[in-house]
A and B are shown apart, each in its own frame.
Chain A
Amino acid sequence: MKFELNHKIVEVPDSQNDYRLLWVLRDHFNLTGPKFGCGIGECGACSVHVNGDVQRSCSLTLKDVDGQQVITLEGLSTDEKLHPVQQAWINENVPQCGYCQNGQIMTAVAAIEQSPALSKTEIYDAMDGVRCRCGTQKRIKAAVDEARTVIAREASNG
């Protein structure tokens, strides 16, 4: 079976249909962005985009992404330039231990890009299901606000 992974078509044996997407991404494709946190889709550390939607890769099998487009943290920036959300994360110096930030960033990108008209509060609600233990949420808020402004400006500049 084939699927698109970070803008390239990849192939995996059909016999691995039931393999967990998170393990295949990490262990086969060596993509360290998505992390194992809870294994039950509760914390969001393993988040990826499937066709632009944020999904928990620990709760998906390869079968679920057959023929679909999968983007991981590594695939957010296609050239030298970071995605505005990633850049905002650096500007606001968000991470502490850093382990959850994949899920935070993937969730923020999906929320902001899919629905540019979402209010701040609606984006915060979207972020609520992603856990952070260190307590970086204050900075995540600031980074989300910053990225939202940058993306809106870029969109209006065409």
Chain B
Amino acid sequence: MDKLTASRRGFLSGLGWASVGLSALATGCTFPAIPHRDEPTPEDASLWLSVRPEGIIEIVSPRTEMGQGIATAIKQIVAEEMNVSIDQVSYLSPISNRLPAVKGTVGSESIMVFGPLIAKTAAALNNELNIRAARQYGLNAGEFKIHETFLISDKSEKFSLTSLLSPALVLNPETIEMAKSKSFDTHGKKRIVGTSISQHEIASIVSGGHAVYADDIILPNMLYGRLITPLSLNTIATNVSDQALRKIVGYWGLVQEDGLLAILAENRSVLDLADDLLEVTWIEKKPASPDVDSLMDFSSPASEEGREHVLFDAKWEKTTFDVDITLKIPLAAHASMEPRTAVANFKKESDPFLQVWTGSQDISLTHQSLSKEFALGENQIVVHGMRVGGGFGGKVSSGIERDAARLSQIAGRPVKLQWRREDEFIRGYHRPPSVHHIQASLDNLGKIDKWSHNFKSGHVIFSSAFLPSWIQKVTSVIADKGVARGAIPPYEISKKRVAFEDVRLPINTGPWRGLGAAPNTWAIETAINLLAIKNNIDPLKFRLSLLKKEQKRLYNVLIQVAELAEWGNNRGRGECALGVACGIYKEMSYSATIAEVCRQKDGTIKVSKLWSVHDCGFVVNPDLVKAQVEGNLIWGVGMALHEKLTLDGNQLSATNFDNYDWTSFIDIPEINLKLTNQEAAPTGAGETAIVSATASITNAIHSLTGEPVLSLPFNQGEAHS
């Protein structure tokens, strides 16, 4: 092989595919359980990068692109270290047979965890190339450039790149460990890292023409599948008859087996006919009791397996509080624009082989669960990760690849399976509802004396979507970290009690942008604001005076957003008012936002402006990080004003977009944002600003109406009064 590549030693056999964790126990659930995965190592990284003889640096990405810009950032890092242009870097989406098992793309940590390792690996590869160029051609590092199949020296001499790449080079982990990279040296001069390069695949996105998403994959002789889904929860099909469909040209047949009810056809128009022609008797079981509302009510007894997880346990004598509020956050949908889609090609010949194309946030998990489900060897499966058309935590784990593979296995032909929007609502998992009881008081010096925050939330990680109920019960002794995220206030508090209970709900819940950080910070920042107002203190000054000493970065974003919005002078005009909030995502990224809301002529309240300052440390691509912050702020508008899913008996309030509202085009406020503290090490931007945006808006509404917003989304009906 004439490319400079890392060793294949140990590939597939010892690369973590066999590790199972909780998932081994969790078969039979809607979704494969999310396993624990270690941080990537230099050994893993040694397989990510190679130099192609045509002068292209190829990276098989360990990260999934879903709009957050990681593909562009990775290309920038590689180009920087390898001393090539961005066009000379070929970015391949994750492919499971070319990657050691890797953590799913979650938690906004791709740059923080993977970025520096990718930089070191590219730097190591560049070093090796330089060593060979010096030895074979007498060229010194920095005196040549890769151009197509050549090295071109400063004196315009041409040397073969191909012969430099033979024999293949082993990039060993120690070399990577030792390599000195420049991408994250915040003071060093850089060519490409730190600049704003466009979103990867932007040309295909705006003009079509290339396969970008899983639905763009068309295989020869492919069938199309559709799951038959009831429009309510707790409902099962009996007496399924496809008699009428069988007469239709292009209809292939019905698949009915344990856990899978689907039809297959030569094209999707024939699948559409099933709505009218497939006869199904649906049997709706009694709705779960108690229902979601009762389970999320503090007055109801703790659920059967409920355990309280105590983070802080201060005690005090019975007392009254300045603030004593209960806050409610409803279920919410991911509503990614791309419904889950997978294409599977299961070849059953003597050597079984399964290929799957999917828009998943975790292709290693997909690979691993397919291997288990179909009893296939690790190297009998290839999972191609496609661009994800919106993830937000919703596409971490999904059964669609398994179903597509099973249908392909049965049909003996490739199958494309796509969830309908209704499947996304009925079969998908959602942001859990939560309820927060906060009591707080100031002492004579204006410091927070007592703080009590009790909350209940549906599961985020130990969710019924991923775990059968008996395991979930076992896990109730372990706190769900997803629920707890962001629950500890960043403020100086003399005595605090923070405790929560994970509640098992009769609906699938799971990770949603920000996990617990978004709801918890909203609750905390609402209470803090109320404390300030009740004590006649400026809410911004109040926060600044109370932040813990070590929260310098949060302090700084607050100070800067106050300047940006001219907080001191800008008191809102007429029917407008301002609100402020701040928050931390995963103890790593910091955000402060000021919102201006205005009452419209029709009495409703609209967000007119948002100012936001964001500290995620050093950024590789400022424009794409800004795009993430903008998206977060717009999600904050949705969380504050629009998003709500309810369950009435077995009926969800929405099974398609006509009944699910989020921020629309005309709701978009003017956005003024600033990235700060680029000297610090990089952290994450994908889920940070939502933690401050939502409360800044509801605090502004409080300031306008005189009433705190205690239930999300804000009820516009109240605005009229």
Contacts and interface: CB of A to CB of B under 8 A. Distances in A.
Interface of A: 15-16, 18-20, 23-24, 26-28, 30-33, 35-40, 42-43, 45, 72-74, 76-77, 82, 86, 89-90, 93-102, 105, 124-125, 127-128, 130-141
Contacts of B627: 93, 96, 136, 139
8 contacts: A23-B267, A28-B267, A35-B338, A73-B206, A96-B69, A98-B205, A134-B337, A137-B665
Interface stretch (B163-171, B319-327, B384-392, B489-497): B384-392
B378 interface: no
Contacts of A101: 205-206
Contacts of B519: none
Contacts of B666: 124-125, 128
Interface of A is mostly: loop
Contact of A133 (B203, B335, B420, B656): B335
A135 B389 contact: no
Closest 3 pairs (CB-CB, A-B): A96-B67, A135-B634, A99-B389
Contacts of B268: 20, 23, 27
B633 interface: yes
Give the residue among B213, B337, B628, B634 with the most A Cβ atoms within 10 A.
B337
B202 interface: yes
B303 to A, nearest CB: 32
A135 B635 contact: yes
Contacts of A138: 630, 634, 668, 671
Interface string B664-695: 11101001000000000000000000000000
Given A93-B198, A99-B389, A135-B663, 7 more contacts: A31-B208, A37-B337, A42-B657, A93-B623, A97-B338, A132-B337, A136-B631
Contacts of A24: 269
B390 A97 contact: yes
A100 B389 CA distance: 8
Given A20-B272, A38-B421, A90-B203, A133 B662 contact: yes
B602 interface: no
Contacts of B657: 37-38, 40, 42-43, 131
A95 B209 contact: no
Contacts of A36: 215, 339, 418
Contacts of B628: 96
A58 B85 CA distance: 41
Given A35-B215, A90-B198, A97 B67 contact: yes
Contacts of A30: 218
Interface in B186-233: 196, 198-199, 201-203, 205-213, 215-216, 218, 224
A134 B631 contact: yes
B371 interface: no
A135 B337 contact: no
A136 B631 CA distance: 6
B338 A99 contact: yes
Interface in B623-653: 623-624, 627-628, 630-635
A128 B224 CA distance: 32
Contact of A19 (B209, B267, B420, B665): B267
B252 to A, nearest CB: 14
A134 to B, nearest CB: 5
A27 B203 contact: no
Contact of A39 (B249, B391, B421, B624): B421
Given A93-B624, A131-B664, A137-B668, A98 B269 contact: no
A19 B272 CA distance: 9
Contacts of B211: 32
Contacts of A140: 665
B632 to A, nearest CB: 7
The B contact surface, by secondary structure, is loop
Contacts of A128: 664-666
Contact of B665 (A74, A95, A130): A130
B361 to A, nearest CB: 12
A128 B667 CA distance: 9
B67 A134 contact: yes
B620 to A, nearest CB: 14
A97 B69 CA distance: 9
A51 to B, nearest CB: 20
A32 B664 contact: no
Contacts of A99: 213, 336-338, 389-390
B337 A90 contact: no
A130 B209 CA distance: 22
Contacts of B630: 135-136, 138-139
Contacts of B668: 137-138, 141
Nearest to B388: A97
Nearest to A73: B208
A47 B633 CA distance: 27
A76 B208 CA distance: 10
A28 to B, nearest CB: 8
A15 B249 contact: yes
Contacts of A74: 207-209
Nearest to B633: A135
Nearest to B335: A133
A45 B420 CA distance: 14
A31 B216 CA distance: 9
B656 A38 contact: yes
Given A42-B657, A96-B68, A77 B207 contact: yes
A39 B664 contact: no
Instruction: From A30, A89, A98, A139, name the one whose CB has the most chain B CB atoms within 10 angstroms.
Output: A98
A131 B337 contact: yes
B483 interface: no
A136 B664 CA distance: 10
Contacts of B656: 38-40, 42
Given A20-B268, A39-B421, A90-B198, A100 B337 contact: yes
Contact of B212 (A16, A32, A139): A32
A147 to B, nearest CB: 11
Contact of B336 (A77, A95, A97): A97
Contacts of A136: 627, 630-631
Contact of B634 (A18, A86, A137): A137
Interface in B364-396: 387-392
B550 interface: no
Contacts of A77: 207
B208 A98 contact: no
A115 B705 CA distance: 40
A124 B664 CA distance: 11
A33 B389 contact: no
A37 B199 contact: no
B613 interface: no
A137 B344 CA distance: 34
A11 to B, nearest CB: 17
B587 interface: no
A38 B423 CA distance: 10
